[in-house]
Structure formats: C-alpha cells, structure tokens
Chains A and B, each alone.
Chain A
C-alpha cells in the first residue's frame, strides 16, 4: 500500500459502519423514549424524581457507587398463565349451578379443551328447569358436545382422570388459575378459548431468573426504566447487590436480612439505608462497602433545619446526616423498577415461586 488517503478512507469507512450500527441505530430506536403511560393506566412511568432524589443521583455518581452496584435486573425466562376472572355476561350464563349459582356451559367445554388433565363432569338438568324451553336445550347441547369432546379425547390419546378435581369445580370458585407457567402460545390460546366461551380471562405472567429469585426485582429492567437518568449509571460489576428495585425490596431480601420493628416502615427503611451509608458493617459484618462517614456530622449542625438525628446501633450519641446523605437515600428510595411495562410485564398477584415447581400444574403432554 502506497497511498495514505486510500488507507485513511478505508479506515474511516469501517469506522462509519460500526458508528452507524452501534451509535446511530440505537439512537433512532431508543432516542425518542420518554416517560409514558403504563398499559391500561394513566400513571406515567418512570415518574419524575423529586428534587432531593435528583440531587442524590449526583451524589451517587460522584461517590462512584456504580463501580460496585449495578442497576440492572436480569431475567432468564418469562412464562405465562391464564386466570379466569368472571364466568361471563348474562348471554352466556344459564341458571342451575349448585347453591343457585349460574353456570357457563360453553366455558366448561372450553376449560376441558385447555386443561387435558382434568375430567369434565356431566351437569344434570335441574328438575325445576325441565320445562324451561330456553334452558333445557342448552343442557342437551352441552351433553352432546361433552360426548364429542370425550370421543375426540380418545382419538387424540388424551386420558382424563376418572376421579379427582374436575373443570366444573375449577369454574366454581373465581378468580381461578387455569394455566400456570406455560409458553406464550399456550397462554394466549387458553385466553382465546375462554373468551370465546363468553368468560373473562386474562393472561398472567411469571418471570424467572436468579436475580428475581433473590428478590432483587419483579422483572428484568428495560430501556424505559432509565429514561429519566442522565448520566445513565448501569454499573458493570456486582461487588454489592443490585439496586434497580431497592426502593421496594423486602427487608428479608437484603444481603443481610433484617426486620421491621414498627409499623412505620417507610421511616425505618430510610433509617436502615442511612445506617448503611454511615457504616455498612453495622448491618452486615461481611460487607466490604466503604463507610461514608463523611456524609454525617457528629455535632448538630448550625443550620435552621438539621433534620432528625440518626441513632446508630451500638453508639450512644446520635449523628446528623448531611444534606448529601439524605439526598442519596432519597435517590435510592426511588429505585423501584418493578412496575410492569409493555415489554416487561410483572406478575399481577403474588410473586412467582421458585422455578423448581414449574410445570406441576401444566397440562399433561398429549
């Protein structure tokens, strides 16, 4: 090679390629992200940080907390489920259930189609309704369809247990969990079957991963979580626990578990974080987090509002958190990336248990 300009042009071209792919393309895709309303809600996420927390973000950056703490929760798997909320509107209901409750006969068939591991019991026509020309044929049709279903079962090799729980019992108590921890296709199919039968069903979510098992969050973090941050401090090494969901973390999920002593949990949580800043080893003996004692005054500072003093465990005299300490704690308390967003939903009810139990309630493989 003899000509410098050719070399330079080639180098610039290859740089332009990587620039276009890894700087321009992400900016086009993500650059317009902004706080937005949550699905089915008017709540804006992520909410703007209050002033004190915004100042705390600067303290977090300045002290280099991000050198040891990540703010990113990972998830290894997402599974889905179906929950039945309502039997349906008047059009799809017939009287005649136990204790005078209405029945949705189509739903029973749909449930049987979704749950191959449950039997479908016959529903006898109550004698009182035998003369009702509106209702009686529906019971007859149900019995016919049930027979077809059972015949099709035999054809496709499905064997339903003869005893044990039935779909009739499943539909009797609402809300009912119809499917648990299944693939998205199975979940959506289940919701469609139940909705077609006139019932109200919804897709539920199960998120799995060691981070979630550890109680660090309810879902993986996504780009939406960081749109209010500048600079965005994701962190690179987990020398300390992840902080993305710290604001809503349960005390027993801390690296050194603790318990609330009173009902004023908010104040206690704040107190706990302040003690962590003052000396982390008062809370966890093995912690290697350096103490930020310089964020505290030993004497009551000569300002009009010094704030509440902090009682330090094992120390007679209280210390006075400086403004930076309070700001940093306020910032940490705003770390609550566990609201379901469109591309990372969260379980609406109780948190999913460990994935070891996955599949016990899933339909049997045909």
Chain B
C-alpha cells in the first residue's frame, strides 16, 4: 500500500463501484448459487432414499436404478459436484470480484460454463444410476461425464483467474488465498485422479490410494478451504472489525496447505503400512493449522458473538460451520484410524465436510450474497424462511452426523470382536441410528427448499422493482 506504483494508481482510478461489481456478478453467481441449492435438495433426497434402504431393504426393491449401491454414490457425487463445488465457484467468483474490486470478466461465458457443469453433473448422476459408476469414492462419475466436467471447470477457473489478475485492489486478503489455492489445486487433483483412474489405470491398490488422495484433497483443501475463505470474509465483516492476528491466519493457511493433502489414507486396507501411518500422523498435525485459523477468527469476533448471532443470519451459519470444522478435525485425528475402519463413522466424514463445514458456510454466505445481487438489501426477503433454513440445516447435520457416528460405534464394536453377532449387533442393531440419519437428510432437504423459496422471493421482488411495478 505504501509504495505507490503507477499501475496501481491508474487501477485505483478506474476501480469500479460496488454496484458495478455486483452487476457483473449477478448472472453467473446467482445461476451457480441457485443450481447449487437445487442440487443440495436433489442430493439430500437421493441420500434420504438410500438411507431408508439401510434398515428397510424392501423399500424400492426390484429396480437396479434405485438400489442402495447406486443411490448412495449418486447422492454423494450430486452433493459434492452439484452442490458443494458449484456453490464454491459462486463464492469464489463473488469473493474475487468483491475483494479485488473488479468486474467479473466474461460473466456470460462463466454462466455458459456453469450451465455445462450442470449438464455434466446431471449426466454423471444418471450414469451412476444406470450402472456406470467407476467405483471410486467421490469420483464415481463415468468418463463421459467426467470429461465435460473438467472442461467446464477449466473455463470457470480460467476466467476466475483472469478476473483475479485484473483486480484493482492489489493486496490479496486471506479469503483470496484460500480461493486461489483451491482454484489451482482442484484441477491438478481432478486431472491426476481422472487421468489415472479412468485412463491409465495403475495396478492394484495404487488405484485405491489415488482415489483416497483425491478425496482428501477435495474435502480438506478445496471445500474446507472454501469454507474458510467464507469465514474469513464474513466474520470480520459481520462483527465490523479488522481481522485480528493476520500473522496467525497466514501461518495457519500455509500449514494447512502443506499438511492437509497428506491425510485421508489412514483407513486404507491392504496397502503398505507406511501409508496409513503417514496419513494418520497428518490427520493429527492438521489440528495445528485448523486451530490457528479458528483462533484468529475467534480473536476477531470475541465479545460480539452473542450479539452477531442474534442480528445476523449469515453469522449463525458460519459459527456452526466453524464448530463443525473443529469437531470433524478432532474426530478424524482421534478416531480416524483402525478402530473405526470400515464403519459409517468413517464414511460420515464426507457428509460432515460436504454438508456441515462447507454446506453451512456456503448457505450462510449465500444468505448474504443472494439479496445483495437481487434486491440490493442485506438480508433475504423472509427472515422466517432464513430461520427455517438455518435450524433445519443444523438439525439435519446433527441427525446425519450423530446417526452415522453412533451406527459406526456399533459397527466398530462388531469389527473388534468376533463374539458379537454380525447380523444382530452390526446390522439390525444399528437400525435406530440410521433412522436418525434419514431424519437428518429430510431436514437438510427442508433447509434447501426453504433457501430456494427465499431465493425465489428475492428474485421476484427484484424483477418487480426492475419492471417498474408492472402489476
């Protein structure tokens, strides 16, 4: 800031106004946000249907398209690619435009690329239901969906980076670090994993290792990173203070980048022992950066948390997302090893990161962004629907997380001792917990619908304003 470079001077002179920035974001960000929420709804419904089959096998029996083995991967991938990644694009574009004080380049192109992304996700979900799943967690889309997915991502990321390059505010804020890392990181991991698993196909368990590495990068760095970008943007904004302790945030950021990609393989079976050992150690070490980042946020908001909770819908979402981030990090560190291998406890991490850490942070951010881009207000038209979305999402997340975790403890006990009966203790014995999971997905569906309804109201009000009272 102190060294006045000629280029930045001219840049400052031509910096667009907030209204201009928002106008450029309107089409692509609203489209991505709306499709993301719609996929959240669709994915939660698919996951709900799948979870019912875990205790009621006769439910929708007799059709291969809706059997558990296809519904569950369809649900997880719809949530990961349709909801989570798509919403993360919306957030990334918004953060780059706002923090860089720059108009989005090629908003129409971005919208078209986003459209293709949605087509690819739809094709992929139907591909899984039709039986073309690849069999790798979080990477189940068949090749004919994976390629267009990567192509549309390349367009989205390229335009996002072009916009970033044109920013008039040269200083990169913490949120943008996470956004840039995710924008560079995701295409590398995705292309590596797709190239290896769908193209070249290495021998044997290397495939499982690559899939685990990709899943870890997607969950820990791309999606958790996006959630942190949102937290670092909205927490100081909501409490109206500058970020306390940016040095801590910087250390946390670099450590998370360095350590985050090493976890995720701690529960892999039939691989050389050093791989789970290294991953397990990384799962522990990652507590340090996560704590550093959360402490930095805590110091920023300290003393104003209760006040902001009451006043601001976005802040409520973010607070729960931050607590979940801490929870899922500790949970993976302490119970992410052999004791909970092959159980729902381990599998639930995907759900908690997708829907809890990232999902709640994204919904919270969208409760601020969508009204800014439509009506120009700071909040969505219906505060009742916003409350409903919040409580349904939190309760839903609790249901899914607690239900799967308790079921996992039951399965873990069966795995640990042959004296337990597999069917009685490990299958029918956990049915009650899995019913909680079904209720959780139902609540998450309600949350998505409440947000979509609020979204619709905002768009309608915006249109009514623009059309100058056509009615």
What CA separation (Å) do A4 and B416 show in the bound complex?
A: 50
Stretch at the interface among A30-38, A90-98, A179-187: A30-38
Number of interface residues of B (CB under 8 A): 85
State whether A255 and B69 are in contact (beta carbons under 8 Å apart), knowing that A72-B270, A229-B204 are contacts in the complex. Answer: no
Is the C-beta of B111 less than 8 angstroms from some C-beta in chain A? no
Q: B346 — which chain A residues lie within 8 A by C-beta?
A: 236-237
The reply to whether A30 and B172 contact each other, CB–CB distance below 8 Å, is no
Which of B180, B201, B209 has a CB less than 8 Å from the CB of A26?
A: B209
Q: Which of B197, B205, B422 contacts A30 (CB 8 A)?
A: B205
Q: A22-B265, A230-B207, A236-B137 are in contact. Are A288 and B73 (CB under 8 A)?
A: no
Closest to B100 in A: A4
The answer to whether A291 and B136 touch (CB under 8 A), given A62-B131, A230-B207, is no
A147 at the interface (CB under 8 A from B): no
> Are B422 and A64 within 8 A (Cβ)?
no
Contact of A62 among B63, B133, B250, B271 (CB under 8 A): B133
Find residues 144-187 in chain B having any chain A CB closer than 8 Å to their own CB.
164-165, 170-172, 177, 180-181, 184-185
- Taking CB atoms, residues of chain B closer than 8 Å to A22 are 209, 213, 261-262, 265, 275, 278-279
B203 pairs with A30, CB closer than 8 A: yes
A65 to B189, CA, bound (A): 27
Question: Any chain B CB within 8 A of the CB of A256?
Answer: yes
Cα A233 to Cα B118 with chains together (Å): 28
Does A61 have its Cβ within 8 Å of any Cβ on chain B? yes
* Contact partner, A237, options B202, B210, B347, Cβ 8 Å: B347
B411 in contact (CB, < 8 A): yes
Instruction: Report how far A210 CA is from B341 CA in the complex, Å.
Output: 13
State whether A4 and B172 are in contact (beta carbons under 8 Å apart), knowing that A10-B254, A232-B208, A294-B63 are contacts in the complex.
yes
Q: A286 in the interface, Cβ–Cβ < 8 Å?
A: yes
Interface residues of B in 424-443 (CB under 8 A from A): 424, 426-428
How far is B163's CA from A290's CA once the two chains are assembled, in angstroms? 50
Binary contact track A213-236/B, C-beta < 8 Å → 1, others 0: 110000011111111011111111
Across the interface, name the chain A residue whose C-beta is closest to B205: A223
Selected from A66, A222, A291, the residue in CB contact (under 8 A) with B135 is A66
A342 near B: Cβ within 8 Å?
Answer: no
For A281-292 the 0/1 string (1 means CB < 8 A from B) is 100101111111
Which residue of chain A has its CB nearest to the CB of B1? Answer: A2
A239 contacts the other chain (Cβ, under 8 Å)? Answer: yes
Pick the interface stretch among A11-19, A114-122, A152-160, A305-313.
A11-19
> Are B270 and A221 in contact, CB atoms less than 8 angstroms apart?
yes
* CB of B53 closer than 8 Å to a CB of A: yes
What are the residues of chain B within 8 A of A7 when measuring CB–CB? 172, 177, 180-181
At the interface, yes or no: A241 with Cβ under 8 Å from chain B? yes
Chain A contact-residue range equals 35 or more
- Chain A residues within 8 Å of B342, by CB: 70, 72, 235-238
Q: Which residue of A lies closest to B214 (CB)?
A: A23
- CB A196 to nearest CB in B, in angstroms, measures 33
Q: Please tell me if the beta carbons of A210 and B209 are within 8 angstroms of each other in the complex.
A: no
Bound complex: CA A241 to CA B423 (Å): 9
B192 interface contact, C-beta 8 A: yes
Q: Is the CB of B213 within 8 A of A288?
A: no
B100-131, CB < 8 A from A: 131
**B63: A residues at CB distance < 8 A:** 294
Flag whether A131 is at the interface (Cβ < 8 A). Answer: no
Query: B334 on the interface (CB 8 Å rule)?
Result: no
B23-39 interface with A by 8 A CB criterion = none
Contact across chains for A64 and B172 when beta carbons are under 8 A apart = no
User: Given that A26-B275, A223-B270 are known contacts, is A63 also in contact with B177, CB under 8 Å in the complex?
Assistant: no
Q: Which residues 39-81 of A sit at the B interface, judged by CB distance below 8 A?
A: 61-68, 70, 72, 74
Task: Give 28 CB contacts A-B under 8 Å.
Answer: A1-B250, A8-B180, A10-B257, A15-B184, A18-B213, A21-B262, A30-B204, A62-B132, A63-B69, A63-B131, A64-B67, A64-B69, A72-B342, A210-B418, A214-B418, A223-B272, A231-B201, A232-B207, A236-B267, A236-B346, A237-B344, A286-B423, A288-B53, A288-B54, A291-B62, A292-B64, A293-B61, A293-B62
Residues on B facing A (Cβ under 8 Å): 53-57, 61-64, 67-70, 72-73, 131-137, 164-165, 170-172, 177, 180-181, 184-185, 188-189, 192, 196-197, 201-210, 213, 217, 250, 254, 257-258, 260-262, 265, 267-272, 275, 278-279, 338, 341-344, 346-347, 411, 414-418, 422-424, 426-428
